[in-house]
Amino acid sequence: MKLYLARSGLQVEDLDQLNIIHVTGTKGKGSTCAFTERILRSYGLKTGFFSSPHLVQVRERIRINGQPISPELFTKHFWPLYHRLEETKDSSSYVSMPAYFRFLTLMAFHVFLQEKVDLAVVEVGIGGAYDCTNIIRKPAVCGISSLGIDHTSILGDTVEEIAWQKGGIFKRGVPAFTVLQPDGPLAVLRDRAQQISCPLYLCPPLEALEEGGPPLTLGLEGEHQRSNAALALQLARCWLQQKDYRGIGELKVSRPSLLRQMPLAPVFQPTTHMRHGLRDTEWLGRTQVLRRGPLTWYLDGAHTASSMQACVRWFRQALHRRPRPSRGSEVLVLLFNSTGDRDPAALLKLLQPCQFDYAVFCPNLTEVSTVGNADQQNFMVTLDQVLLRCLAHQQHWSRLDEEQAGPEPGEPTSSLLAPHPPEPRSTSSLVFSCISHALLWISQGRDPVFQPPSPPQGLFAHPVAGSGAGVLREAAAIHVLVTGSLHLVGGVLKLLEPALSQ
Q: What's the pLDDT tens digit per position in 301-317?
A: 998 888 999 999 999 99
Model confidence at 369: pLDDT above 90: no
Domain boundary among 264, 280, 296: 280
Confidence band, pLDDT 50/70/90 cuts, at residue 422: very low
Q: Which residues constitute the domain of residue 331?
A: 288-402+424-501
Burial of 173 (0-12, 13-18, 19+ CB in 10 A): exposed
Answer yes or no: is 409 within a domain: no
42 is in an annotated binding site: no
Instruction: Summarize the confidence of residues 379-402 as an average pLDDT.
Output: 88
H/E element holding 383? helix 383-403
Residue 426: its pLDDT value, please?
Answer: 61
249: left (phi over 0), alpha (psi -120 to 50) or beta: left
**Total-model pTM:** 0.88
Which of 396, 220, 382 lies closest to 314, judged by CA? 220
CB contact set of 343 (below 8 Å; sequence gap of 6+): 305
Instruction: Summarize the confidence of residues 179-188 as an average pLDDT.
Output: 94
Answer yes or no: is 55 within a domain: yes
In whole numbers, what is the pLDDT of the chain averaged over residues?
A: 90
Same domain? 190 vs 319: no
CATH of the domain at 183: 3.40.1190.10
Answer yes or no: is 419 within a domain: no
Model confidence at 418: pLDDT above 50: no
Model confidence at 409: pLDDT above 80: no
Same domain? 202 vs 318: no
pLDDT digits (tens, 9 = 90+) for 189-226: 999 999 999 999 999 999 999 998 899 999 999 899 99
Q: What is the rounded distance in angstroms from the CA atom of residue 166 to the CA atom of residue 180?
A: 15
168: left (phi over 0), alpha (psi -120 to 50) or beta: alpha
Q: What is the rounded distance in angstroms from the CA atom of residue 51 to the CA atom of residue 29?
A: 9
Residue 373: its pLDDT value, please?
Answer: 57
Q: How far is CA 262 from the centre of its chain?
A: 28
Answer yes or no: is 62 within a domain: yes
Answer yes or no: is 411 within a domain: no
Same domain? 102 vs 200: yes
CB 124 within 8 A of CB 22: yes
CB 292 within 8 A of CB 493: no
Residue 216: its pLDDT value, please?
Answer: 97
The letter for the amino acid at 382 is: T
The domain total for the chain is: 2
86 is in an annotated binding site: no
CB 356 within 8 A of CB 332: yes
**Residue with more model confidence, 427 or 50:** 50
Confidence band, pLDDT 50/70/90 cuts, at residue 329: very high
Angle of helix 383-403 versus helix 344-351 axis, rounded to 10: 50
Q: What is the rounded distance in angstroms from the CA atom of residue 429 to the CA atom of residue 357?
A: 9
Residue 424: its pLDDT value, please?
Answer: 44
Model confidence at 413: pLDDT above 60: no
191 is in an annotated binding site: no
CB 278 within 8 A of CB 229: yes
Answer yes or no: is 40 within a domain: yes
The number of C-alpha atoms within 13 Å of 458 and in the hemisphere containing its C-beta is 0
300 is in an annotated binding site: yes
52 is in an annotated binding site: yes
Domain boundary among 241, 256, 280: 280
Distances (CA, A) of 322 to 15, 276, 291, 298: 47, 26, 11, 12
